[in-house]
Amino acid sequence: MLHTPILVVGGSLVGLSTSLFLSWHGVAHIVIDKHPGSSPHPRALGFTETTLEHYRAVGIADQIPQVPAGTRLRRVTVESLVGDWKSEQAWTPGDVAEPVRRAEQSPCTGAAIAQDRLEPILRAAAAKGGADLRGSTELIDFQLDQDGVLALVRDRANGQQYEISARYLIAADGAGSAVREKLGIPRSGVGHLGVLRSVLFHCPGADAVLQRGAQQFSIEQQGFRAFLTTYGDSRWVLMLDGDAERTEAELQSVIRRALGADIAFDIITTGRWEMAGRIADTYRHGPIFLAGDAAHQLPPTRGGFGANTGIDDAWNLAWKLKRVLAGEAAPALLDTYDAERRPIGWLRHQQTFSRPDYAARAGAAFKPEPLFGNDALEFGQLVRSAAVAGAGPELPAAAAPGEWAGQPGTRAPHVWLDRAGRRMSSLDLFGKEYVLLSASEAWLAVAGELGLQPVAAGGDLAFPPAQPFGAVFGVPPAGATVVRPDGIIGWRSQAAPDDGSIGELAATLMR
């Protein structure tokens, strides 16, 4: 039997990101996946600034090619790939115009990288950080015991079964999560919407079409509709509504029809996807946490709410597990994972199906909600839990980032700073420890007493004149703000320290 603090079940995007973040926090763990490596059919392609910020913090962002700031993504309706454009659709249907310049919100831009190109980067970095990654290893069964979880796994290469005893288990085993099902955790949401079939093919001859400026193509012909896009590496995917099984000859025929010209291609593989909206009714059952698609199944959107939401789950959970395992926080800190992440899952579910493209599929029972802009969802979500002070129910679930100005429960704002001649993002100040940021000597002294990392705003840490610390973080000279290891503002005071505010801060740390 093996013993580990944490067993991660599922080594795809979310399991590997969890592993990477745990490694970065120095937490020993084992990751198992029933497959030997990445799926030959990539799914996700679009990764958001927030995901890239997390990867930047752990030091791998420079291995992931990011799209240049201001890149315009376009989706058009065409008769065929080489045919004339009939119309152009909004990239994010129903997106609300926001008075912010997106490139100013983050030190990162998003990335367009196929899942099977990204996963090896995550795998290598996690392994380098000490992760025990076990491919071809399947979770067969598990039970809860006094130590946490006892898992029975099978090495599919040799058929050997063995047990792993773990204090905690993270189920990143996808939408069909056997862990979630065994625990009997129900899911709610709009449910099943349909099945799609896809065919992935290699077609370098089609790449020239991209020079016209669109990346996604809705194909509309008499009696034939499909969706065509590329992974940017001469691999193209054709998505077909419905669950029809096709022969090789039929697949070649639909590809030719979609291309609209005699361009050479090789079929790589096919896929079958369920389109659905489902959120688990809890993300935690005792020592077991659900993350990624196991917790929230959402259809592909231009906001990237699938994998990106799951990677953010992992980011939220990793530091909490680290602190609890290290005895730096009370086990109750782990309750804040469900409290913070499940509402985010629901927010993204509601927003997805309130947008015009998916509203049509959601059915009459679904009540659309007012739409937030993409930037509000990407940079301005609010989390509420016992690990945040001052994020009350009166606040909206999201808002444009500039409107929050340092509101506890939101992501700490990004500003380019100068520290002793070195340019850095304010986000680079955070990551492993709680950071108390203040211009007040009195508060900086309190930080030392409470074991927080004090950072003096001012002095050798210069904010740009147009974005002074007080305005960006909403803190006057006498006050202070505390940013959690995940970059979420946990607490803020507008005044000099006193017993009341120090007590409130100490409670938020959940020791």
Ligand X SMILES: Cc1cc2nc3c(=O)[nH]c(=O)nc-3n(C[C@H](O)[C@H](O)[C@H](O)COP(=O)(O)OP(=O)(O)OC[C@H]3O[C@@H](n4cnc5c(N)ncnc54)[C@H](O)[C@@H]3O)c2cc1C
361 binds ligand X (CB under 6 A): no
Q: Which helix (DSSP H) or strand (DSSP E) does residue 75 occupy?
A: strand 75-78
Of the two residues 238 and 334, which places its CB atom closer to ligand X in the complex? 238
126 binds ligand X (CB under 6 A): no
β-pair type (224-230, 461-462): unpaired
287 binds ligand X (CB under 6 A): no
Decide: 258 and 138 in contact? Cβ < 8 Å: no
Q: Taking Cα atoms as reference points, which of 235, 251, 257, 334 lies closest to residue 290?
A: 334
316 binds ligand X (CB under 6 A): no
- Applying CB under 6 A, among 14, 263, 362, 452 the residue interacting with ligand X is 14
Q: Distance (Å, rounded) from C-alpha 246 to C-alpha 472?
A: 56
Burial pattern 153-184, b for ≥16 Cβ within 10 A else e, equals bbeeeeeeeeebebbbbbbbbbbebbbbeebe
273 binds ligand X (CB under 6 A): yes
Sign of CA dihedral 49, 226, 82, 257: positive
Shortest separation between residue 400's beta carbon and ligand X, angstroms:
22
Decide: 166 and 199 in contact? Cβ < 8 Å: no
Of the two residues 216 and 467, which places its CB atom closer to ligand X in the complex? 216
Question: Could you tell me how far CA 110 lies from the centroid of its own chain?
Answer: 12
Site string for ligand X, 321-360 (x = CB under 6 A): ----------------------------------------
What single-letter DSSP state applies at residue 99? S
Burial pattern 395-425, b for ≥16 Cβ within 10 A else e, equals bebbbbbbebebbbbbbbbbbebeeeeeeeb
Decide: 281 and 185 in contact? Cβ < 8 Å: yes
49 binds ligand X (CB under 6 A): no
Q: Which residues, numbered 143-162, are part of the site for ligand X (CB under 6 A)? A: none
Burial pattern 365-390, b for ≥16 Cβ within 10 A else e, equals ebeeeebbbbbbbbbbbbbbbebbbb
Of the two residues 15 and 479, which places its CB atom closer to ligand X in the complex? 15
- Residues with Cβ within 8 Å of 95's Cβ and at least 6 positions away in sequence, in order, are 371, 373, 374
Shortest separation between residue 487's beta carbon and ligand X, angstroms:
19
Shortest separation between residue 388's beta carbon and ligand X, angstroms:
25
Q: Taking Cα atoms as reference points, which of 420, 413, 480, 416 lies closest to residue 452?
A: 480
- Applying CB under 6 A, among 304, 409, 487, 497 the residue interacting with ligand X is 304
45 binds ligand X (CB under 6 A): yes
Decide: 489 and 408 in contact? Cβ < 8 Å: yes
Site string for ligand X, 25-44 (x = CB under 6 A): -------xxxx-------xx
9 binds ligand X (CB under 6 A): yes
Of the two residues 304 and 474, which places its CB atom closer to ligand X in the complex? 304
Q: At 16, list the tokens.
A: 């590997």
With CB under 6 A as the contact rule, which of the stretches 69-77, 306-314, 406-414, 463-471 interacts with ligand X?
306-314
What single-letter DSSP state applies at residue 381? B
With CB under 6 A as the contact rule, which of the stretches 103-111, 301-309, 446-454, 502-510 interacts with ligand X?
301-309
- Applying CB under 6 A, among 110, 300, 380, 485 the residue interacting with ligand X is 300
- Applying CB under 6 A, among 53, 138, 375, 378 the residue interacting with ligand X is 138
Shortest separation between residue 306's beta carbon and ligand X, angstroms:
3
277 binds ligand X (CB under 6 A): no
- Residues with Cβ within 8 Å of 275's Cβ and at least 6 positions away in sequence, in order, are 192, 193, 194, 195, 196, 299, 361
Give the number of residues in contact with ligand X, rule: CB under 6 A. Answer: 30
Strands, E assignment, 242-314: 266-280, 284-285, 288-290, 296-297
With CB under 6 A as the contact rule, which of the stretches 6-14, 122-130, 348-356, 357-365 interacts with ligand X?
6-14
- Applying CB under 6 A, among 4, 6, 19, 46 the residue interacting with ligand X is 46
Of the two residues 104 and 181, which places its CB atom closer to ligand X in the complex? 181
Q: Which helix (DSSP H) or strand (DSSP E) does residue 153 occupy?
A: strand 148-155
178 binds ligand X (CB under 6 A): yes
Q: Which residues, numbered 468-487, are part of the site for ligand X (CB under 6 A)? A: none
Shortest separation between residue 196's beta carbon and ligand X, angstroms:
7
- Applying CB under 6 A, among 107, 110, 292, 345 the residue interacting with ligand X is 292
110 binds ligand X (CB under 6 A): no
Q: Which helix (DSSP H) or strand (DSSP E) does residue 417 occupy?
A: strand 416-419
Chain contacts with ligand X (rule: CB under 6 A): 9-15, 32-35, 43-46, 138-139, 172-174, 178, 273, 292-293, 300, 304, 306-308, 310
